[in-house]
Chains A and B, each alone.
Chain A
Amino acid sequence: MKLPPVEYEAPTTVAGAIDLLAEQLDEASVLAGGQSLIPLLALRLARPALLIDINGLDELSGVSVTDGRVAIGAMTREYVASESEVVADAVPLLAAALPLIGHEAIRSRGTIGGSLAHADPAAELPAVARALDAEFVVRGPSGMRVIPAAQWFEGYLTTARRSDELLIEVRFPAAKRGTGVSFAEVARRHGDFAIVGLAVSLVLSGEVISDARLAFAGVSDVPVRATAAEDLLVGERPSPELFDEAARRATDDLDPPADLHGSSDYRKTVAAAIVRRGLRAAADNARERQ
């Protein structure tokens, strides 16, 4: 399982990286944390002509807050994000999901941007981004674009990033008062990809749910917002019966993929359980955070 022959460049500026992308287009892969890309190369499932290593682009790392939004540089390591007090405070759903990503050593190198650009539908961060309507800032030869999460995830491992664009940062809305979150997942083992996962962010105003965001991992080729469930929840008080009904609405139209770890029916069944558990946990979290 040795990597196939490949060229390598390590640009020292964002502009330099974009120039390379513009030149190579689909022949190049961006090497960020490498935790997803290197295995694909080792298995010879990916055969880029060029690796553009962006680990030298220090300006792409960092967590900052502007205008009620938390901007996380694409090269921010997952472990850095999970230790960030800003993230814990202002993007608690991200903070809840990060410890579930793989293992310590993966999070040492893996990046927020890398995971979101790779867009594995069974991964945690895409579901978080989709739930929170994160914004993806890309830059290319023709300038900057800001792409909302709903349009970012186009298909299996496919995003709206054009081949000549680099993901610069991801912006998350800062959590409002009364927010409660959970990331519930069913995985075969601790740290594995979710067979089914659910990112939940609720806002409780008093005892009433004033905002509800639910996004699934592992039920499709992209993360999926459970909008029917969200519509049901807003304006209601948390209760087991409400959550049961939300689970039904969230999963009725699901047609999850089948693989070695579960059939489509299994995923659908488990998705319903995850909705109930996730909503309960998020509601509890909201009360704790108040």
Chain B
Amino acid sequence: MAEIVAERYTGASIKRSEDPRILTGAGRYVDDIKLPGMLHAAFVRSPLAHGLVLSVDVSAAQVLPGVVAVLTGADLEAMTVPGPDPLMALLGWAGPTPEFTLLATDKVRFMGDPVAIVIAESRYLAEDGCELVEVDYDDLPPVVDAAFALDPSSPPLFANLGDNIARPHSRHEFGDVAGTFAQADRVVDVHIDVHRHQNVPMEGRGCVASWDAGRAAMTVYAATQSVHITRTGVATRLGIEPDQVRVLAGDIGGSFGLKIGASREELAVAAASRHLGRPVKWVEDRGENLIASGQAREESFDVRAAVSHEGDLRALDVKTVIDTGAYPGMGMGAMVPDIMEAMLPGPYQLAALGFESTAVITNKATYVAYRGPWASETFVRERVLNLVAKDLGLDPVEIRRRNIAARTDPPASMITGRPLVGVTSKESLDRVAQLLDFPAFRRRQVEARAQGRYLGIGVATFIEAAPGPRGPDGALGSESMRLRLEEDGIVALFTGQMPHGQSHQTTLAQIAADEFGVPFEQVRVVVGDSAVVPFGLTGGSRSATMTGGVTLHGARELKAKVLDFAASLMEVSAQDLLITDGNVWVRGDPASAIAVSEVARRAASGQFGADVDAALEVEATFDGGQGGWSGGTHGAIVEVDAETGLVTVERYVAVEDCGALINPAVVEGQIRGGVAQGIGAVLLERSAYGEDGSFQSATFMDYLMPTTCDIPRIEIEHLETVPLDADVNFRGVGEGGMIVAPPTVVNAIEDALSPFGVRIYEQHLPPARILELIAAADPG
């Protein structure tokens, strides 16, 4: 391990370098971009869930003063090249591939499906123009639920598929499923539904596309989780080379999985810019974001659990149907079952697992990735444990203690294959139980019930592959970074990470500053330019390990190079040199110190011959080291008002293990934000469709977001983690809160309502539903 003289930054809640601009309104988001000659786009969107497009008449729109062009789906087909969504191509989707045009041509497949693009001098005028486009539709029967989509008689949304199956039924078994069930003391059989809800970043999707006809070059100012994937999407669709496309991203107002790749609208905007030879901006408004950007989590589960009388969870057999909406090729819904299956055992010791899945196509917005896309596996598992515990008269903490795999050496493996190395689930569960003080709570609960108040307590445990352990086939992928000592002494990190709230410009600088030996302010993290940064993607809770690791190792490599150069400058041996506080000096001789900036200046001066390597730059890659799990246990105390159904989260605790913390405040912010989304999903948020496929939660009056009065103080403790790697023990934390908060809260609500005999098999519990559950339950 290389010598670090002063580890000042890593592990401390260093103030963010992003904040001075964020706090003063100097951030640069896509809608802040203003280019000379820039036009504005708006989309004509289908009011129907399913229909044939008989005709599109743009004549009135075209002559509206201020409208510059109106392009229909047919116009765009003529000027673009069909191709797969770049993310789906990257992920290697090999299943059914629906064929569709960039904007709708012959058919519309969900309410909000874009049919034409109007480009005008202002967004106001573009919307005026949209109202003048006359589209003649013929209604088709809508496919609005999975049951109908599975029915071969449902009208196929895509002619080339012939049915509404996005992912054909498959079944996998691990261990002896039939045998384990046959020998079980009890089999619990339940159906669990997770409802449709969505990402809702505060900034919607959008881009400014600017075609330079003279150079045949496209510049896209994007809001994206990967400038390179967006670049691929734009280049493919426009039929040009990737190096003719430059994607730039500044500040991004959140994404949570939504802004990956290139949406149909963004591609249409790019095509429009090339067609017109002028920059075109499109930023979706909140209506578009809610109706059309994509939604997630609409999944149903038939679950069988094989248990012993004492509460051993021996096997699970799960059958899931995922509603991927229309245009599944644009989102990863059909791929989610694979991750669900792999993660379903969690930290528990199962003897067998059966998992079967189907994904269906419906006339709804596309199922997109939403923070922890596989999260429902944790919901199902943690609900089933509580339901089983209830059946057997066991305590929810006890049943988990009983089933969590013990930490052994070598580690136990999940029945689906991955080793549970370094998993601290038992410790986190014990600590949550301690923090919540179950016995004291139970006494309080009894007293409260006597007064007609219903308090409940719930816990849930999860693990997350952030990035996951290195196991036998444990490829973790790799992460690249270019590190360069700039002429002025700045250590520049060029990364494909695309932060949209994750604070990488701070956290990566912390690691580099420590490793290299310069003050935090002397490191600059460069992101958001496809011409300058290596390939990367921010997502999947990978950056802490992968990018933290490549930063650490890359900084070491760069430092070694700089020391070699400095050694020739100072005519000493590199082993005798240190870098601390931005100075290079000979060990034991402080007077020898030369500023790193001076060393950089000398290197850039061009004075050196071929025998001296003065190119102070390295290209580093990192394969994840030993990787590792993140995970933890969350606990909640809630109060349910049994007369109104309103739920208050009185207390929420999270005991998490995400390895070594780079910046505790950043980690805690990620946890709290994820938990807030989970609470929102249970109590407030639903992407609602009517029976005719009309979308009903198209404003913030109907799609309800949690506010300051809905999210309590969240108490967070970090576990001393099990180090797995000699150097890189940072693990991801971005998705965990959203994965485990829903079952935590639902478990607590069910506990609160147990005097009524309520059992909960769903995730969305608005007040009206709570009262329905109470009315329908049998207390006996």
Contact = CB atoms under 8 A, between A and B. Distances in A.
Whether A and B touch directly in their complex, counting CB atoms under 8 A apart, is answered as yes
A188 B684 contact: yes
B486 interface: no
Contacts of B707: 189-191
Contact of B696 (A190, A260, A263): A260
A202 B614 CA distance: 87
B56 interface: no
A172 B709 CA distance: 32
B673 interface: no
Interface string B692-715: 000011010110101101100000
B704 A273 contact: no
A1 interface: yes
Contacts of B285: 1
Interface string B679-694: 0000010101000000
Contact of B771 (A2, A43, A261, A266): A266
A246 B411 CA distance: 65
A270 interface: yes
A260 B702 contact: yes
Contacts of A189: 684, 704, 706-707, 709-710
Interface string B313-348: 000000000000000000000000000000000000
Contacts of B696: 260
A262 B766 CA distance: 9
A188 B704 contact: yes
A266 B768 contact: yes
Contact of B767 (A3, A4, A5, A188): A188
B127 interface: yes
A273 B128 contact: no
Interface residues of B, number: 30
Interface in A247-262: 260-262
B709 A260 contact: no
B644 interface: yes
B210 to A, nearest CB: 23
B768 A186 contact: no
A163 interface: no
A210 interface: no
A44 B285 CA distance: 13
Contacts of A263: 768
B391 interface: no
Contacts of B287: 1, 43
A285 interface: no
Contacts of B286: 1
Contacts of B697: 260
- Which of A1, A4, A189 has most B Cβ within 10 Å? A189
Nearest to B707: A189
Contacts of B646: 186
Given A43-B699, A189-B707, A189-B709, A5 B128 contact: yes
Contacts of A186: 644, 646, 767
Contacts of A2: 123-124, 127
Contacts of B686: 260
Nearest to B643: A273
A270 B287 CA distance: 31
A90 B248 CA distance: 60
Given A189-B704, A190-B709, A262 B768 contact: yes
Contacts of A273: 643-644
A35 interface: no
A261 B287 CA distance: 19
A254 to B, nearest CB: 16
Contacts of B688: 260
A159 interface: no
A82 interface: no
Nearest to B690: A260
Contacts of A266: 645, 767-768, 771-772
Interface in A227-276: 260-263, 266, 269-270, 273
Contacts of B645: 266, 270
A262 B767 contact: yes
Given A5-B128, A188-B684, A273-B643, A261 B766 contact: yes
B684 A270 contact: no
A193 B704 CA distance: 12
Contacts of B127: 1-2, 4, 44
Contacts of B768: 261-263, 266
A97 to B, nearest CB: 18
A148 B388 CA distance: 61
A266 B644 CA distance: 8
Contacts of B701: 193
A186 B648 CA distance: 13
A5 B458 CA distance: 53
A191 B706 CA distance: 12
A250 B481 CA distance: 69
Contacts of B644: 186, 270, 273
Contacts of B709: 189-191
A104 B686 CA distance: 26
A251 B697 CA distance: 29
A268 to B, nearest CB: 11
Interface string A170-200: 0000000000000000101111110100000
Interface string B644-684: 11100000000000000000000000000000000000001
Contact of A269 (B702, B704, B771): B771
A233 B559 CA distance: 84
B81 to A, nearest CB: 33
A39 to B, nearest CB: 8
A193 B767 CA distance: 15
A183 to B, nearest CB: 15
A44 B704 CA distance: 21
Contacts of A269: 643, 771
Nearest to A103: B707
Interface string B21-35: 000000000000000
B682 to A, nearest CB: 13
A70 to B, nearest CB: 31
Interface in A1-40: 1-5
A243 to B, nearest CB: 13
A188 B128 contact: no
A3 B771 contact: no
A188 B701 CA distance: 10
Contacts of B684: 188-189
B771 A4 contact: no
A219 to B, nearest CB: 14
B643 A270 contact: yes
B319 to A, nearest CB: 30
A260 B703 CA distance: 10
Contacts of A1: 127, 285-287
A44 B646 CA distance: 33
A189 B700 CA distance: 12
Contacts of A4: 127-128, 131
A165 B128 CA distance: 31
Interface string B748-780: 000000000000000000111001100000000
Interface in B188-218: none
Nearest to A260: B702
A3 B709 CA distance: 31
A266 B775 CA distance: 11
B328 to A, nearest CB: 26
A280 B62 CA distance: 63
Interface string B238-280: 0000000000000000000000000000000000000000000
Interface in B533-560: none
Given A260-B697, A263-B768, 6 more contacts: A5-B128, A191-B709, A260-B696, A261-B768, A266-B645, A270-B644
21 contacts: A1-B286, A2-B124, A2-B127, A4-B127, A186-B644, A186-B646, A188-B684, A188-B704, A189-B704, A189-B706, A189-B709, A193-B701, A260-B697, A260-B702, A261-B702, A261-B766, A262-B767, A262-B768, A263-B768, A266-B767, A266-B771
CB-CB nearest 5 A-B residue pairs: A273-B643, A190-B709, A266-B768, A2-B124, A1-B285
